[in-house]
Amino acid sequence: MSSFNAVPLTRLIEQFERLPGIGKKTAQRLAFYVLGLPEEEAKAFADSIIDAKKKIHRCSCCQNLTDSEICRICSSPERNKRVICVVESPRDVMALERTREYNGTYHVLHGALSPLEGIGPEQLTVKELLERIKRDGADEVIMATNATVEGEATAMYIQRLLSPMKIPVSRIAYGIAVGGSLEYADEVTLRRALEGRSLL
Amino acid sequence: MSSFNAVPLTRLIEQFERLPGIGKKTAQRLAFYVLGLPEEEAKAFADSIIDAKKKIHRCSCCQNLTDSEICRICSSPERNKRVICVVESPRDVMALERTREYNGTYHVLHGALSPLEGIGPEQLTVKELLERIKRDGADEVIMATNATVEGEATAMYIQRLLSPMKIPVSRIAYGIAVGGSLEYADEVTLRRALEGRSLL
């Protein structure tokens, strides 16, 4: 790399290398691609970073990312504000919205409890969730955190916090993926799939 | 995505999606990562794009990318200017430099002949190569284009152009990869590896 002696190029490659899941070779490929773009398109790319960073912030209600004070989901008259689906990240909201099934609202925690990484309730938007429920009430809180140790712990933690309020707290189902084969499912998932069986 | 109604975010995701080898999900992951960066780091990323685009151009001698008039390889007194290794892209230069074996110079074609994609000699830096050799002379030209149909055709084409000048033109060796097993090598490579065998 140093054989290039082209500092701006090295720096651009390094910037791409810092992105999650992008290794040295991919970073090079991306940097060269950007260099090959017409001037105005490279500028549009850079501007989109600055612009998104400047305008995107958390919805004051559900903490999802938005460019308005209240996000479109929270401000939609068609969404049921009394059902709150708690997720770890904005990407989880996107995934659930793609199902076109859910018409309640969300609450984005921006992470999951992880004592080893120093992530406690204060690093998440747990306080905002409690305040929101106290202020607006809720008929059901659906815990849709990931099926990881951290996601489970977070779901349990929030369920316990909410229990004095007598609000039903549910957890999304575990099981084998649709189209997935039993052969490749791990034993814990299979056990949960058995436990969660329902009558046909 | 549209459920977000956050245009700057959608735009940022789209910008990442345009990069080669980056799909929808990866683009989302990268966009959210950038949004999560501190303000100054996101700015540094955007600036590195603008900066590289502004300062990086082709070396007037070898056509490799550089931020100076003549790149470091071409201007190094330790490199043999009379040996020219012809490659398709700046990344190939990087790969060859990593071997720490080669002390000649390069010529970057910025592509390979591909009539189907409308890439002829005029789209490559073939003219610059010929002018350079006519001006400075050369003891050997090493064709190190890719072992693809396009790379081969390009090597053949340039070899034919250079033949009136009586300059030796060589081609890098074909064979199985070091550490690679015969079992997984394709038959064309194996045939070439057999043809290129040398006495032990």
Contact B53 A72 (CB under 8 A): no
pLDDT value at B88 more than 90:
yes
pLDDT value at B174 more than 90:
no
Query: How many pairs of residues across A and B have Cβ atoms under 8 Å apart?
Result: 170
Confidence at B192, pLDDT banded by 50, 70, 90: confident
Taking every pair of C-alpha atoms in chain B, what is the biggest distance, in angstroms?
Answer: 68
The pTM for the full model equals: 0.73
**B95: contact with A, CB 8 A cutoff:** no
pLDDT value at B72 more than 80:
yes
The ipTM is 0.73
Tell me how close the Cα of A31 comes to any Cα of chain B, in angstroms. Answer: 8
* Chain B residues whose beta carbon lies within 8 Å of the beta carbon of residue A31: 52
Query: What integer pLDDT is reported at residue B5 of this predicted model?
Result: 57
More confident residue, B187 or A133: A133
* Chain A residues whose beta carbon lies within 8 Å of the beta carbon of residue B72: 3-5
Domain spanning B76-199, CATH architecture? 3-Layer(aba) Sandwich (3.40)
**A37: contact with B, CB 8 A cutoff:** yes
Question: Which of A79-88, B5-14, B156-165 is predicted with the least confidence, judged by mean pLDDT?
Answer: B5-14
Question: Which of A100-104, A143-147, B75-79, B97-101 is predicted with the least confidence, judged by mean pLDDT?
Answer: B97-101
Q: A43, A49, A66, A97: best mutation site toward chain B, by most B Cβ within 10 Å?
A: A49
pLDDT value at B199 more than 50:
yes
Contact B48 A1 (CB under 8 A): no
Confidence at B200, pLDDT banded by 50, 70, 90: low
The residue-averaged pLDDT of B94-123 equals 92
What are the residue ranges spanned by the domains of chain B? Answer: 7-55, 76-199
Residue B127 burial by Cβ neighbours in a 10 Å radius (0-12, 13-18, 19+): exposed
Which CATH code is given to the segment(s) B7-55?
1.10.8.420
Q: How far is it, in rounded angstroms, from Cα A128 to Cα A164?
A: 17
Q: How far apart are the first and last CA of chain A?
A: 62
Interface of A with B in 5-34 (CB under 8 A): 5-9, 11-12, 14-15, 19-22, 26, 28-34
At residue B10, φ and ψ (nearest 5 deg) are -60, -40
Nearest-CB residue to A12 (from B30, B49, B68): B49
Average pLDDT over all residues of chain B = 89
Closest B-chain CA to A79: B3
Tell me how close the Cα of A4 comes to any Cα of chain B, in angstroms. Answer: 6
pLDDT more than 90, % of chain B: 70
Which residues of chain A carry a pLDDT beneath 70?
Answer: 1-5, 199-200
Contact B67 A8 (CB under 8 A): yes
